[in-house]
Structure 1
Amino acid sequence: MVFTDAHVKRMEEIMRSVRTNFECDLVEFNGDNNHVHLLVSFPPKVAVSKLVNSLKGVSSRRLRQEFPDLARHYWRANKLWSSSFARTVGGAPLSVVKQYIEQQNRPV
């Protein structure tokens, strides 16, 4: 277990602030005790890699500053996030994707 509810709530605030720099919409967000799911709508001019790197970089930096207790989870690699990936949901109905994210078991 890495994240508590407080971590996930703050992470969502941070990621919602970052997305404005990319003119994106954070449609849905939820997290579990060791990962998060985001549904992001973004314009074609935005490179997915730059968006993901910014979301991860800013959230990692701010979370480590605000929650020193997270250090025990990243001490060896000196990073909060592991390699991640982005997927498109072109054919899936957005309602199904949103429901999947909403149903994640948020930590307590």
Structure 2
Amino acid sequence: MRDVCEGFGAELREFNGEGDRVHLLIHYPPKIALSKLVNSLKGVSFRYLRAECTGRIKRTGTGSVFSTPSYFAGSCGGAPLSIVKDYIDNQKRPPA
């Protein structure tokens, strides 16, 4: 995730998540199209998961699709970064 962000000129500041989602705090310049950054992050992470979890991932009715194209992005302008970092840090870690 950090390498993908750096490739876009962005900085991954916090990473955490749950079994079926991740939470990222990314500082990125306004010239970056957020949809392109997210698409790249999802693509790289799913290729990694497919390689690591081959045979253990159940795909019910999704064919070759591993994830939905949806994502949520919110801005935290005005909120202290410490509060946002605490929120992300207190999420469960994704399974290894």
TM > 0.5 between the two? Answer: yes
Q: TM-score, normalised by structure 2?
A: 0.84
**What count of residue pairs does the alignment treat as equivalent?**
93
CA distance in 2, matches of 1:50, 1:70: 29
Counterpart of 2:83?
96
CA distance in 2, matches of 1:91, 1:58: 31
Counterpart of 2:7?
21
Amino acid in the other structure paired with 1:27: R
Amino acid in the other structure paired with 2:29: P
Check if 1:76 corresponds to 2:61. yes
User: What secondary structure is seen at the aligned counterpart in 1 of 2:12?
Assistant: strand
Structure with greater helix percent = 1
Deviations 1:51-85 (A, max 9, x none): 0000001111121022214531x342233333112
Question: Of 10, 17, 20, which residue of structure 2 is paired with 1:34?
Answer: 20
CA distance in 2, matches of 1:101, 1:31: 7
Counterpart of 1:85?
72
Aligned-residue identity in percent: 52
Instruction: Evaluate the alpha carbon distance shift between residue 51 and residue 70 of structure 1 in structure 2; reply closer, same or farther with a 3 A threshold.
Output: farther
Amino acid in the other structure paired with 1:47: A
Instruction: Give the C-alpha shift of residue 38 in structure 1.
Output: 0.1
CA distance in 2, matches of 1:97, 1:70: 33
Gapped regions of structure 1 (runs ≥ 5): 1-14
CA distance in 2, matches of 1:90, 1:26: 16
CA distance in 2, matches of 1:49, 1:63: 21
Instruction: Evaluate the alpha carbon distance shift between residue 16 and residue 36 of structure 1 in structure 2; reply closer, same or farther with a 3 A threshold.
Output: same
Deviations 1:65-108 (A, max 9, x none): 22214531x34223333311211111211110000000012256
